[in-house]
């Protein structure tokens, strides 16, 4: 189950570093209503004060990795808005306002759009009927993978392919493992031709042609990592996966994200990372 767009001859080709070389990031502070956020499993309500502290540590880690961070105010009308990545896709010089699949999150992209317009020369929109979360979009150095899930549908993937085709981006559609919220719940790009993935996603064959580092047994949640320039951010609590990444030569920043995890959140969804 896949498709691709044919890059335009006039558009720039994907290049090394697209997936991990960044200069800027956009974050949004957690809302006071964060305890009303969506979750697949009840692990208890997140503690707002602890969440804010962990969010500040995350911001500091991005800055230490060389990024200039824009911190947006909280949106109390949207409890999940701290997971800002689901509302937009950011590429060099270009942003796409997405259409989150959960009804309670449908206004987040519109609220974010003025900030996208301030940061990007081009901001594109998808049709109203499309449904696609940023958590289902994995950008590698050679293509963009879109995972179909409960939050992202074929119409959303096809709409994204159409708006990006003139810019030369190749898209490929894939599935997500049963019961997994987002594609990036189970994978991350590590730059070049390497990805981190859970064994169940790696077994699907969607990463044929890539070098795959698998998460350790019992540590599937470690797959939601991010590479930021020369550092790989990993959530705390996954020591064997950390050992595998360190043995592969990656410089790790391990962060406590216990409160985000209570709302099915992780490292990738807390920021929009881009160059420019």
Is residue 92 helix, strand or coil? coil
Element (H, E) at 272: strand 272-274
- Residue 127 confidence (pLDDT) above 50: yes
The arithmetic mean of pLDDT across residues 118-131, rounded, is 97
Q: Which of 198, 182, 200 is closest to 264 using CA atoms?
A: 182
* pLDDT tens sequence across 9-48: 333 455 789 999 999 999 999 999 999 999 988 889 999 9
> Which residue reads 């042609």 in tokens?
209
Q: Are 273 and 47 in contact (CB under 8 A)?
A: no
Mean per-residue pLDDT of the chain: 94
Structure token pair of residue 145:
């993978």
Name the pTM for this structure. Answer: 0.94
269 catalytic per annotation: yes
Structure token pair of residue 201:
């996603």
The arithmetic mean of pLDDT across residues 252-270, rounded, is 97
What whole-number distance in Å separates Cα of residue 248 and Cα of residue 2?
A: 30
Q: What number of CA atoms fall less than 13 Å from residue 119's CA on the CB side? A: 30
Structure token pair of residue 171:
């898209």
- Residue 7 confidence (pLDDT) above 50: no
User: Top-level CATH class of 24-274?
Assistant: alpha beta
Q: What share of the chain has pLDDT > 70, as a percent?
A: 95
Please give the radius of gyration of the chain, using alpha carbons only, rounded to the nearest integer: 17
Q: Are 233 and 215 in contact (CB under 8 A)?
A: no
Print the SS3 string covering 158-185: HHHHHHHHHHCCCEEEEECCCCCCCHHH
Catalytic residue among 20, 182, 187, 206: 182
The arithmetic mean of pLDDT across residues 255-264, rounded, is 97
* pLDDT tens sequence across 188-212: 999 999 999 999 999 999 999 999 9
Catalytic residue among 20, 187, 206, 269: 269
182 catalytic per annotation: yes
Q: Are 36 and 265 in contact (CB under 8 A)?
A: no
The arithmetic mean of pLDDT across residues 249-271, rounded, is 97
Q: Are 153 and 168 in contact (CB under 8 A)?
A: no
* pLDDT tens sequence across 57-78: 999 999 999 999 999 999 999 9
> Which residue reads 């947006």 in tokens?
72
Longest dimension (CA), the chain: 52
Q: Are 22 and 273 in contact (CB under 8 A)?
A: yes
What residues does each domain of the chain span?
24-274
User: What is the reported pLDDT for 13?
Assistant: 57
């Amino acid at each position: 189950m896949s498709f691709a767009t044919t890059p335009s001859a006039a558009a720039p080709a994907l290049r090394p570093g697209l997936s991990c070389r960044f200069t800027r990031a956009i974050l949004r502070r957690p809302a006071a209503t964060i305890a009303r956020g969506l979750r697949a499993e009840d692990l208890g309500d997140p503690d707002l004060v602890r969440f804010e502290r962990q969010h500040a540590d995350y911001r500091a880690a991005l800055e230490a990795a060389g990024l200039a961070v824009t911190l947006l105010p909280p949106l109390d009308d949207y409890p999940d808005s701290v997971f800002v990545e689901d509302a937009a896709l950011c590429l060099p010089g270009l942003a796409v306002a997405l259409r989150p699949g959960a009804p309670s999150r449908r206004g987040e992209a519109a609220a974010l759009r003025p900030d996208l317009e301030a940061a990007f020369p081009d901001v594109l929109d998808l049709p109203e009927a499309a449904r696609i979360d940023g958590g289902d979009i994995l950008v590698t150095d050679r293509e963009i993978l879109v995972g179909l899930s409960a939050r992202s549908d074929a119409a959303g993937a096809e709409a994204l392919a159409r708006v990006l085709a003139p810019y030369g981006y190749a898209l490929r559609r894939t599935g997500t493992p049963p019961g997994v919220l987002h594609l990036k719940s189970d994978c991350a790009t590590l730059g070049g031709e390497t990805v981190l993935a859970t064994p169940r996603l790696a077994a699907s064959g969607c990463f044929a042609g890539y070098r795959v580092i698998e998460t350790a047994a019992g540590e599937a949640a470690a797959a939601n990592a991010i590479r930021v320039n020369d550092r790989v951010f990993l959530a705390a609590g996954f020591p064997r996966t950390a050992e595998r990444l360190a043995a592969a030569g990656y410089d790790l920043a391990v962060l406590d994200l216990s409160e985000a995890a209570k709302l099915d959140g992780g490292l990738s969804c807390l920021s929009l990372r881009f160059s420019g």
